[in-house]
Structure 1
Amino acid sequence: MTNSNPLKTVDISTLDKATASELLEAATTQGFLFVEGHDFTQQEVDDLFQLSKEFFELPKEYKEKYPIDKSNHGYSKMGEEVLDPSDKSQKGGDPKEAMNFCCMNFETGLSSKQVPDWFFEDPERIERVKVASKKLYRLSVDLLKLLAIGLEIEDSDESKGEDWFSSRYHATKESGTTFRFLHYPGQKSLSPEAVIRAGAHTDYGSMTLLFQQENQEGLEIYSPVAKAWQAVPFIPSSKGEGRAPPIVVNIADQLSFWTAGILKSTIHRVKFPPKVQETGQDRYSIVFFSHPNDETKLEPVPSAMVQKVRGRGANKDGAQVITAKEHLDKRLAATYGWY
């Protein structure tokens, strides 16, 4: 880790206690990290970004036939999201658009909701979505197991400690997990003042997995360590030619709440840096928001590390136990104004 890269890189090629300790250290300090050792190829990621670009180039009238709904599924048009309501410079909402795939079955890789016909017109298009969503789901489960090992969650009659989180992320049960394409139009197409493309916010679920492209930087975190905004760079793979670059992973609100704040949900935003503003380069990203199954109760985690932190999150005295769906619904209502 250098001064220009605030994030630790963790190689998860081996799922063992040493890797779990590295992951936990990053998750309890910055709340953000790079994950190396996943099984995505560069070609797979390039194809996904090309698919995303082609979708967002479709006519506005076509995309808006599939509007985002209260399950968080569908197309979110420019300015529809307001991630930081306190930022008065973003009067028209965040200048970005997105396509969300929700209500997913991770055995098939498909949503139970209506998906734009365009994805099915060429079988390769929907196949890319299916393969990527299943891989990202499996990767999220591996990360949850590592976090459980790091937190030394106790074994029970029901399951091994390392499966405590992952057993609540069943592949076919309903959850808020979302696979998302994002497009931030180039700066030259907007007013010069609109440098913030996604307002300062924390994510809603358990963790977020992000692919970003070289020369399309913009992600910044408000580091809990440095107490300052820090840019997250693109870094290439160290795994050899043909391997995709490390994936950005961050802890989100629900998992932080669940662990009484031990795991950090860090504020972040998208702000186009000067070199991107000068070129007018668009920014695309591919995101996987991991959530536990809807009925999961956010009750205290059976870990000595977590339980010794009293009065916070799920460990707060007298706190009502809520479900993962209840937690998510509150956040979505605030983001989209669904009251």
Structure 2
Amino acid sequence: MKLLQVPVIDISAFSAGTAEEKQHIARQVDQACRDIGFLVISGHGVSPERIADMRRVSRAFFDLPHAEKARVARPAPDVTRGYIGMEEESVGRLRDANAKAGDLNESLMIGPVDLPPAAYAFAPEAGKHFAPNLWPEQPAELREVWSAYYREMGKLAQTLMRIFALGLGLEETFFDDKIDRHISRLRVRNYPAQIAQPVPGQIRAGAHSDYGSLTILAAEDRPGGLQVCNAEGVWVDVPIVPDCYIINIGDLMARWTNDTWVSTLHRVVNPPAGSGEDSRRQSLVFFHNPNYDAEISCIPTCRAEGEVPRYQPITSGEYLRNAFVTTQN
């Protein structure tokens, strides 16, 4: 039966498990990615203390006056670094060009914290994927905490990509050389408590799919949360399970798999009227993106003999550049 709700999968046995245990996990993940494009993972190995540190320093940043946050404002639409203020972005615009209202959140984002050799990072075809990060002066420890978390997410993403490879009938290390210089983004979104009534059609984050290979999300169980559109076209809540991460695949993984796996529409809805301060919500989001020169073309195991791929090959870097610019107001 096709999954219509987001499953919870324990991946703890993958790193040191037997071949049979790895395949069992990979089969569960494969079904989730085929049916709904989302899963919740336990046994990921990231300490609760590291997540708590990220939440603490990020909340302190967003509590700063707007003028202070704006000192590290995103410099240009094609530079995925820095602060983006309330209603300055509409993530739904990539799927719906008529999406007008800006999203009801603010965010801060960084890219790679450990650069590859300069000849690769600053080659013409690299574009701005290795642009310098914009670090706020306050809180003073933010840079250290975020850098450590970014590295931790990179390791978890590699494990997940190995699970993906087995789930797709490939060698476990199939994706390793396509993500060893990844251009991922770490972004924290702050959804302030809603005091004023939103304009008609305006929500915390419009319906969209993510752009890259996969997303690792640590969310809070607060009013006005994440929903995913299932195979029957019904919006269902994504469960918030303590000490677990929400994982979803993005457009590049869907293209890699010839849409065998689905990059599912999801959104963040408004809290019920009158929720007050309890509706403030913060999401730690790691958007894992392959190397900018990784070719995204149909994986052989995802295409029947004689079947024509749905998409022309494209590099990760080119696809992402187009997506970043489209979502800006």
TM-score, normalised to structure 1's length? 0.82
Give the one of 151, 164, 172 matched to 1:147.
164
* Partner in structure 2 of residue 164 of structure 1: 174
Instruction: Give, in angstroms, the shift of residue 276 of structure 1.
Output: 7.3
Quickly say closer, same or farther: Cα 1:275–1:43, change in 2 above 3 A: farther
Instruction: Give, in angstroms, the shift of residue 311 of structure 1.
Output: 5.8
In structure 1, stretches of 5+ residues that fail to align are: 154-160, 237-244
How is 1:1-339 mapped onto 2 (pairs within 5 angstroms)?
6-15=5-14, 16-68=22-74, 69=76, 70-85=78-93, 86=96, 91-105=100-114, 113-118=132-137, 122=140, 124-153=141-170, 161-170=171-180, 173=181, 175-191=182-198, 196-224=203-231, 226-236=232-242, 245-274=243-272, 277=275, 281-303=279-301, 306-308=302-304, 315-316=309-310, 320-336=312-328
* Cα distance in 2 between the residues matched to 1:125 and 1:278: 28
* Cα distance in 2 between the residues matched to 1:217 and 1:141: 31
Q: Deviations over 1:268-304 (max 9, x none)?
A: 000024277355521111000000000011122132x
* Cα distance in 2 between the residues matched to 1:101 and 1:117: 11
Find the residue that maps to 2:293 and give its secondary structure: coil
* Cα distance in 1 between the residues matched to 2:48 and 2:41: 15
* Cα distance in 2 between the residues matched to 1:221 and 1:63: 31
Instruction: Give, in angstroms, the shift of residue 114 of structure 1.
Output: 3.5
Find the residue that maps to 1:248 and give its secondary structure: strand
Find runs of 4+ consecutive structure 1 residues off by over 6 angstroms.
none
Percent of aligned pairs with the same residue?
Answer: 27
Instruction: Give, in angstroms, the shift of residue 125 of structure 1.
Output: 2.8
* Cα distance in 1 between the residues matched to 2:53 and 2:205: 25
* Cα distance in 1 between the residues matched to 2:137 and 2:292: 29
Find the residue that maps to 1:293 and give its secondary structure: coil
Aligned partner letter, 1:126: R
Aligned residues: 303
* Cα distance in 1 between the residues matched to 2:56 and 2:262: 33
* Cα distance in 2 between the residues matched to 1:41 and 1:266: 28
Aligned partner letter, 1:127: E
* Cα distance in 1 between the residues matched to 2:44 and 2:72: 32
Quickly say closer, same or farther: Cα 1:20–1:67, change in 2 above 3 A: same
Find the residue that maps to 2:92 and give its secondary structure: coil
Instruction: Give, in angstroms, the shift of residue 324 of structure 1.
Output: 0.4
Moved more, 55-64 or 289-298: 55-64
Instruction: Give, in angstroms, the shift of residue 136 of structure 1.
Output: 0.9
Aligned partner letter, 2:111: C
Instruction: Give, in angstroms, the shift of residue 321 of structure 1.
Output: 2.1
